[in-house]
Amino acid sequence: MNTARLRDRVAASDPGLLRLAAGLRTVAAIALTLAVLGLAGVSVRHLVAGAIAAMVATFAIRERQRTAQAVTLALGLPLALVSLSLGALLSSRVVAGDLFFVALIFCAVYGRRFGDRGTALGLIGFQVYFVSLFVGATVSGLPELYGVLAVAFLCSAAARFLLVPETPAGLLERLREAFRARLAQLVSAQLGLLDAGPEEIDEVLETVREGTARLHETALMIQGRLEEGTADEATARLVQRRIADAEIAAERLGLLLLTARSAERADTLTLHLPGAPAPRAGRMPGRDEAMAQVRRDLEALRLLVLRPAAARSGTALSQVRNRLLGYREEDRLPPAPPAVQDVFRGIGETARAVLGLRIALDGPQDESDDSPETARSREELDAEDAVIDAGEADGAAQEELKGLRRPTTRAAVQVAVGSSLAIVGGEFLSSQRWYWAVLTCWIVFLNTSSTGEILVKGYRRLLGTVLGVLAGIVLAGSVGQHTWTAFALVLVLVFAMFYTAPLSYTLMSFFVTAALGLLYTLLHTYSLSVLVLRVEETALGAACGVIAAAFVLPVRTDRRTNDLLVTVLERLDEVTEAAVDQLSGGTPVELLDQARDLDQALADLRAATQPLTHPITPLRARRDTARYVVALLETCAYHARSLAATAELLPTHPSIAADPRLRRAGRRIGDNIAAIAAHVRDEHSTAAVETGPSIASLLDTEVPGTPRFGRVTDRVLRHVQRLDETLVGLARPLHVPVSAPKR
C-alpha cells in the first residue's frame, strides 16, 4: 500500500514522468559519454566537451515520434561538426568570428518557424559553437573533437532509444495515471472543505484551487498526446471525452460542496481566483448527519479513482460503486437539505465519470455485480460511445503572417541585435569569456514572445546565476581537483536542472551555474573572479536582450495579451454558440475539438500574463486586474465546457433534449462576447455589453400551461445563466460599457 501511495504521489507531482525521464535521459547520455571517453583515455578538456555535447544532443530534440527523433539526431551530427569546425577556424579572427556568431544566432532563432526539427537543429548549431569557445577548440585539435562529438551523439541516441526509451503510447499511459492521481488529490482536498473552520477555510480552498488547476493542466497534456499515443482516432476521441467528463464533474462537485457548507450558492469564480473570499459556513437543519455520509462517500469516491482495477466483481468496492451511482436516481438520495442532496447527486455524477474513464482506459469490465443503477449508467456510456463522431472538425483558417510580422523573423532580428550588443559589451568585460553574455541574451529569447516575458526571464536567470555562483564556490572548494567526483556532482546538478526546469527557471539557472563552477575547476580556470565575471556577463546579456526587445520591432506585453484575449473570446464564442445551437435543436457539430482549442488559447493567455502578475511588478492594481480577468475567463471556459459536454449527451441522455428557446439566450451571450472582443481590439469601440432579464425568464413560454423549461435540465440553465453573468462581470475590468437591454 505504501508503494502504491508513493507511486501515486510521484505520478501526480510529475505528470507522465516527463521531468524524471528528461533528467534521467540526459544524465544517462552524459554518463555513457564520459564512460566511453574515459576508457579511451582522452583529456579532461575533451571530457568536458563530450559531456556538454551529449547534453545538447539530448535536450534539444523535442519531437514525439521516435523516427522523427532519429532523423533529427542524424542531421544534428554533421551540423555540429560544421559548427565546431567554424568555431575553431574563426577563433583567431575576431571580427569574422563575431559576425558569423551573430549570423548563426539569427538562423538558429529563425529556424523555429520550421517546427520542432528546425528548433532542435538551431539549438545544436548554436550550442556546439559555444562548446568550441568554452573548451578553446583549435584547428589542430579538430580530429579528436570530431571523435568526441561522434561519441556524444551516439551515446545520446543510446540513452534516448535504449536506456531511457519513451514511446507515445507509454507516455500517454503515464499521463492517464497522473490524471487519476491528481483527480484523487482533488477529491481529498474537497474533503477538507467539509471540516475546515473559519481560520482554515482560506488555506483549504487554495488547495482546492490548486488541485483543480493541476487536474486541468494534466487534461491538456493528455489532449496534446492523444493522436500519437492511441491506436486510432475513435479511441482518441473517446478518451478525450471521458477525460473532459471527469474534469467537469470533479470541478462541479467542488462547487456543490462549497454551496452545501454556506448559506448561499457558491460562485464558480471562487475556484479560479486566488485570494477570492471563501463562503463561510452556515447552519442547515439535519446537515451534520448528512455531511457525515458525504464524508464517507467522498472517501469511497477517492478509492474508486485510485484503485479502479480493484473495483471488479466480488470486491467491496463494487458495492460502494453501486451505491454512489445510485445517487443519480432521485429515490436513492439520502434525506438531507436540498444543497446537500445536490452534493450526493454530484458524487453520483463524478462516480459515473470515473466509471466511463475506467472503461475508456482499461477496456470492458466484469458487470456481474452491477446494480440496476450501475447497469443503466453503463448503458448510457455505451450509447454515448456509439454516437461519438470520428470525423475531424474543420479548423478555422488562420492568416499567415509574413516578413517582419512573423514572430520567428522578428525574434531572430531582435536576438541578432541583442547578441551584437552583448558581444561588444562582453568584450569590454572579458576578451576570453564574452560569450557568456551572448548565451544569456540568446536564452532569454527562447520561448518568449513579449518584452515583459523577456524582462521576467532575464531577472530570473540573473537571480539563479548569483545564487549558483555562491553554490559553485562551495562545491569547487570541496571537490578540488578530484576529476570523477566533480563529474559525478555535475551529473547530479544536471539531473536537478532538468527536473526543476518546468517548475522554476530560477532553480534551473542555479543548478546550471553551480555545474559550470565545477567544470571551470576541471579546466583549471576556476577562480572567484571568473564566477563574478559570470554574474556580470549574465546581467549584461539579460540587459542587452531586454534592450533589443524593447527597441527593435517591440511586442509590448499589453499588445500580446490583448491579441491572445481576443483569441480566447473568439474560441469561447465558437464553443458557446455551437453548444447552445445544439441544445436548441441545431445540427450536431464537433464540440470536443472546439473546447480543446479554447483551453489551449486560455493556457497561452495565462502564460503571457505572467509578467503582469509577477510578484515583483510595481503595478499592483494592474496585476490584480490581470488575475481577475484570467479567473473570469477560466470561469467562462468551465461553463462553456460543461455546455459542450451536455450538448453531446442529447442523442443518448433520457433527461436532456433540445429546447429552441435557448437560442435567445445564446444570441445575447454571443453579442456580449463580440462586444468585449471589439473593445479589446479597439478601445474606442462603441459596442456595449447588454444586460437584461435572467436566462430563465428568456425561456418563459407564451403558451399557457406549457412547462416552463420543457426537457432542458436545470443544470444547463445554470451554466448558461452563470456564463451570461460572468461576461457582464468581465466587461467591468476591461472598461466595456454595460447597457440596458434593447427594447
**What does the pLDDT look like over 258-292, one tens digit per residue?**
888 776 667 777 788 777 666 665 544 445 678 78
pLDDT at 528: 75
Cβ atoms 192, 295 nearer than 8 A:
no
Cβ atoms 152, 50 nearer than 8 A:
yes
- Coil, strand or helix: which one is 312? coil
Least confident of 24-38, 495-509, 695-709: 695-709
Residues in the chain: 743
- Coil, strand or helix: which one is 91? coil
d(CA 344, CA 427) in angstroms, rounded, equals 69
**What does the pLDDT look like over 326-343, one tens digit per residue?**
888 877 888 888 888 888
Q: Is 632 exposed, middle or buried (0-12, 13-18, 19+ CB in 10 A)?
A: buried
One-letter identity of residue 734: L
d(CA 337, CA 287) in angstroms, rounded, equals 7
Whether 55 shows a pLDDT value over 70: the answer reads yes
d(CA 313, CA 461) in angstroms, rounded, equals 55
d(CA 393, CA 233) in angstroms, rounded, equals 12
Whether 147 shows a pLDDT value over 60: the answer reads yes
Percentage, residues of the chain above pLDDT 70: 85
Highest mean pLDDT among 403-407, 519-523, 614-618: 519-523
Highest mean pLDDT among 535-544, 609-618, 693-702: 535-544
pLDDT tier for residue 400 given thresholds of 50, 70 and 90: low
CB within 8 A of 304, min separation 6: which ones? 311, 317, 320, 321, 324, 351, 354
d(CA 110, CA 118) in angstroms, rounded, equals 8
Angle at 291 between CA 286 and CA 294, to 5 degrees: 140
Cβ atoms 419, 442 nearer than 8 A:
yes
The number of C-alpha atoms within 13 Å of 377 and in the hemisphere containing its C-beta is: 27
Beta bridge partners of 689: 738
Beta bridge partners of 262: 281
The number of C-alpha atoms within 13 Å of 705 and in the hemisphere containing its C-beta is: 0
CB within 8 A of 720, min separation 6: which ones? 580, 639, 643, 662, 665, 666, 669, 695
Highest mean pLDDT among 1-5, 420-424, 549-553, 559-563: 420-424
pLDDT tier for residue 633 given thresholds of 50, 70 and 90: very high
Whether 314 shows a pLDDT value over 60: the answer reads no
Whether 554 shows a pLDDT value over 50: the answer reads yes
One-letter identity of residue 388: I
> Which grid coordinates are listed for 486?
566533480
> Which grid coordinates are listed for 634?
477560466
Which DSSP helix (H) or strand (E) runs through 124? helix 115-134
**What does the pLDDT look like over 176-202, one tens digit per residue?**
888 988 999 999 999 888 877 777 888
> Which grid coordinates are listed for 178?
497522473
Beta bridge partners of 739: 690
Q: Is 67 left (phi over 0), alpha (psi -120 to 50) or beta?
A: alpha
**What does the pLDDT look like over 340-392, one tens digit per residue?**
888 888 898 898 888 888 888 777 666 667 778 778 777 777 777 666 544 44
Neighbouring CB atoms inside 10 A of 482's CB total: 13
CB within 8 A of 501, min separation 6: which ones? 19, 22, 507, 508
- Coil, strand or helix: which one is 262? strand
d(CA 332, CA 318) in angstroms, rounded, equals 17
pLDDT at 204: 86
Average pLDDT, the chain: 82
For residue 116, how far is the Cα from the chain centroid? 18
pLDDT tier for residue 3 given thresholds of 50, 70 and 90: low
> Which grid coordinates are listed for 738?
454595460
Which DSSP helix (H) or strand (E) runs through 689? strand 689-690
Helices (H), 648-707: 662-681, 695-698
d(CA 585, CA 663) in angstroms, rounded, equals 9
d(CA 681, CA 665) in angstroms, rounded, equals 25
pLDDT at 312: 46
Tabulate helix, strand, coil % of the chain (nearest 5). Answer: 75, 0, 25
> Which grid coordinates are listed for 630?
484570467
Least confident of 145-154, 307-316, 543-552: 307-316
Neighbouring CB atoms inside 10 A of 100's CB total: 17
Of residues 599, 703, 711, 606, the one with CA closest to residue 650: 711
pLDDT at 708: 45
Q: 455 or 494, which is more confident?
A: 494
pLDDT at 163: 93
pLDDT at 619: 64
Which DSSP helix (H) or strand (E) runs through 554? none
Rounded alpha-carbon distances, angstroms, from residue 175 to 257, 269, 580 = 27, 27, 32
pLDDT at 117: 93
Q: Is 64 left (phi over 0), alpha (psi -120 to 50) or beta?
A: alpha
Whether 741 shows a pLDDT value over 50: the answer reads yes
Across 164-303, the runs of DSSP E, i.e. the strands, are none
Of residues 221, 183, 211, 190, the one with CA closest to residue 351: 183
Over residues 482-507, the mean pLDDT reads 88
For residue 334, how far is the Cα from the chain centroid? 39
pLDDT at 373: 77
d(CA 61, CA 228) in angstroms, rounded, equals 17
Highest mean pLDDT among 114-128, 261-275, 450-464: 114-128
Location of C-alpha cell 497522473 = 178
Cβ atoms 327, 348 nearer than 8 A:
yes
Over residues 634-662, the mean pLDDT reads 78
CB within 8 A of 98, min separation 6: which ones? 423
pLDDT at 699: 56
Percentage, residues of the chain above pLDDT 90: 21
pLDDT at 403: 61
Tell me the backbone φ, ψ of residue 633, rounded to 5 degrees.
Answer: -65, -35
Least confident of 60-74, 376-390, 619-633, 718-732: 376-390
Cβ atoms 691, 740 nearer than 8 A:
yes
d(CA 740, CA 577) in angstroms, rounded, equals 22
- Coil, strand or helix: which one is 307? coil
Location of C-alpha cell 543548478 = 511
> Which grid coordinates are listed for 534?
559570470
DSSP state of 41: T
d(CA 184, CA 7) in angstroms, rounded, equals 13
